[in-house]
């Protein structure tokens, strides 16, 4: 899509669309095929790599004659029934255009509730819905089967996209909840699920451990980095759209600085864009200023992340940031970085992975956030 007056040059911190969406052609095609053929999908990647933007893009592109998509963000859900309420509200609101229609779709289900519904007189406003589902009104099985009933009545497949699914993995008695989900979901014929979340470690535990209920629940996809050449074209053209100039070389250097991390590429590009006026060219000094500004903007967050860490954990981070990614048990490495015993290294790995500060890639450990690594190296 071309530039319009309402387009922002670069967007970060929220999902993006159209003018600010970049690449992912193969992923869009594969995910759209999964949606239209009813294949469950699990998307895994580090946070802020563009999972939500990708899924929303596919939701807009699927064949609406065949598929209804439902999108629900469960980040605020802390309990099983909070999840059921959010899921049901999203299903009811997004499978019908008006309140009376979804009331009809779910008449039997709604009959046991006293839902609070408010509809603004504004033509494009959202319906406000609060259901108040509790264990006294519905069993988990009844709640989870509602979407299948609606799909059968409509004669269309429904794809339910659940964002921040790691919340399920962190709930009390999580494994029992997952068993209940699987016991219903695996028998549904008209509903498929696209599941993704921002905590890679938790998502991997839920879907890749053999002893977990949702093991091999669907098509497992790792979302990779967007290649530098795609980012370069995007950055150069977006500068040009606002009558500013950046060379392909400097655009590539933006990508390198933040290791092609999608959100950070957008943010650093925006910072550098804001340093120059119309008709001006980006110089290398602007890149250095931009990196400094980016690090300063994240400093409070990074300080909060390291505040609770032990001295051993800090040493272990420093070891990885210095370029050591495996063989931490070797005596020279342990002594250089004061890592303690071999058994202590195992505990350090587990703790830092659970905190989402480091991640496993094969047998090697890497810092999850490239800007955190840069800040740590400069300041700690």
Instruction: Give the mean model confidence (pLDDT) for residues 316-322.
Output: 97
Average pLDDT of 188-211? 93
Looking only at the bridges linking them, the beta strands covering 157-163 and 191-196 are parallel
Query: CA–CA separation, 135 vs 154, rounded Å?
Result: 28
What is the spatial distance between Cα 351 and Cα 201, in angstroms, rounded to a whole number?
11
Backbone angles phi, psi at 29, to 5 degrees: -60, -45
114-123, 231-240, 350-359: which has the minimum mean pLDDT? 114-123
Distance separating alpha carbons of residues 23 and 1, to the nearest angstrom: 13
3-state secondary structure of 119: strand
Q: What tokens does 152 get?
A: 């059968």
Contact between 95 and 89 under an 8 Å Cβ cutoff? The reply is no
d(CA 165, CA 56): 16
| Range in 17-21, 78-82, 362-366 with the lowest mean pLDDT | 17-21
Provide the whole-model pTM.
Answer: 0.88
Structure tokens at 128: 């406000």
| Contact indicator for 265, 231 with CB cutoff of 8 Å | yes
Could you give all domains of the chain from N- to C-terminal order, each with its CATH number?
24-222 (3.40.50.300), 228-299 (1.10.8), 308-379 (1.10.10.10)
**Among candidate residues 103, 94, 208, the one with its CA nearest the CA of residue 159:** 94
> Residue 74 above 60 pLDDT?
yes
For the chain, give the mean pLDDT: 91
How do residues 223-252 score in pLDDT, each as one tens digit?
Answer: 989 999 999 999 999 999 999 999 999 999
Specify whether the CB–CB gap between 38 and 157 falls below 8 A.
yes
pLDDT band at 192 (very low <50, low <70, confident <90, very high): very high
Residue with tokens 């598929």: 67
pLDDT recorded at residue 122: 63
């Amino acid at each position: 899509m071309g530039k319009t007056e309402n387009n922002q040059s670069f967007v970060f911190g929220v999902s993006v669309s159209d003018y600010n969406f970049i690449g992912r052609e193969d992923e869009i095609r594969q995910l759209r095929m999964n949606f239209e053929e009813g294949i469950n999908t699990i998307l895994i990647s580090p946070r802020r790599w563009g999972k939500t933007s990708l899924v929303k893009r596919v939701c807009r592109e699927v064949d609406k004659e065949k598929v209804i998509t439902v999108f629900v963000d469960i980040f605020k859900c802390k309990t099983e029934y909070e999840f059921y309420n959010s899921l049901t509200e999203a299903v009811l609101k997004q499978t019908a255009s008006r309140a009376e229609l979804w009331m009809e779709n779910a008449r039997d289900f709604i009959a046991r509730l006293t839902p609070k519904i408010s509809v603004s007189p504004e033509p494009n406003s959202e319906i406000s819905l609060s259901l108040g589902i509790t264990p006294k009104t519905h069993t988990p099985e009844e709640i989870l089967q509602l979407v299948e009933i609606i799909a059968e009545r409509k004669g269309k497949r429904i794809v339910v996209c659940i964002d921040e699914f790691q919340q399920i993995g962190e709930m009390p008695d999580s494994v029992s909840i997952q068993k209940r989900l699987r016991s219903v979901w695996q028998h549904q014929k008209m509903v498929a699920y696209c599941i993704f979340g921002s905590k890679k470690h938790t998502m991997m535990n839920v879907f890749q451990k053999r002893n977990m209920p949702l093991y091999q629940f669907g098509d497992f996809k790792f979302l990779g980095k967007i290649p530098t050449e795609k980012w370069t074209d995007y950055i150069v053209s977006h500068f040009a759209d606002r009558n500013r100039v950046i060379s392909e070389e400097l655009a590539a250097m933006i990508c390198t600085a933040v290791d092609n991390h999608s959100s950070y590429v957008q943010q650093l590009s925006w910072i550098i864009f804001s340093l120059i006026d119309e008709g001006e060219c980006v110089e290398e000094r602007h890149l250095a200023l931009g990196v400094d500004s980016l690090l300063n903007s994240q400093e409070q967050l990074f300080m909060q992340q390291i505040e609770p860490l032990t001295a051993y954990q800090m040493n272990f981070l420093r070891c990885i940031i210095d370029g050591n990614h495996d063989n931490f048990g070797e005596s020279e490495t342990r002594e250089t970085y004061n890592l303690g015993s071999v058994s202590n290294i195992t505990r350090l790995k587990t703790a830092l992975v659970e905190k989402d500060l480091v991640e496993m890639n094969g047998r090697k450990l890497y810092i999850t956030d490239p800007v955190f690594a840069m800040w740590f190296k400069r300041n700690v």
